[in-house]
Amino acid sequence: MMDIVISMGLVGIMLSMLGMGLLIAYYGSSKTRNVGFLFLIIGVGLAYYLTMEVTPWEEVAFWNGMLAFIGGIIGGIIGIIVFLIAIIKS
């Protein structure tokens, strides 16, 4: 059970680092772009670590937990986008 919790936490951190890194590297000023690239490198490093070292890929419970976690993240992102559209329209 602890493998699933740790893996889900690392996936959340990895997705956050990749998302923030892409946004900061693209939209940031010249000073903050380096931080964006650093976040991207950390995200890619965590992705490599998750796929090669840590995760128990053969367990069904792991995949069920990961699907629920990623579904929750996608649902949260869609909710935030709908909320922002509603605020912008009003």
Token pair 């995760």: residue: 55
Express each pLDDT in 15-41 by its tens digit.
888 888 888 888 888 888 888 899 999
pTM, two decimals, is: 0.64
Distance CA 39, CA 18 (A): 7
If one compares 2 and 27, the residue with the highest pLDDT of the two is: 27
Check residue 70 and give its pLDDT: 81
CA angle 22, 7, 13 (to 5 degrees): 25
The answer for residues whose C-beta is within 8 angstroms of residue 88's C-beta and 6 or more apart is none
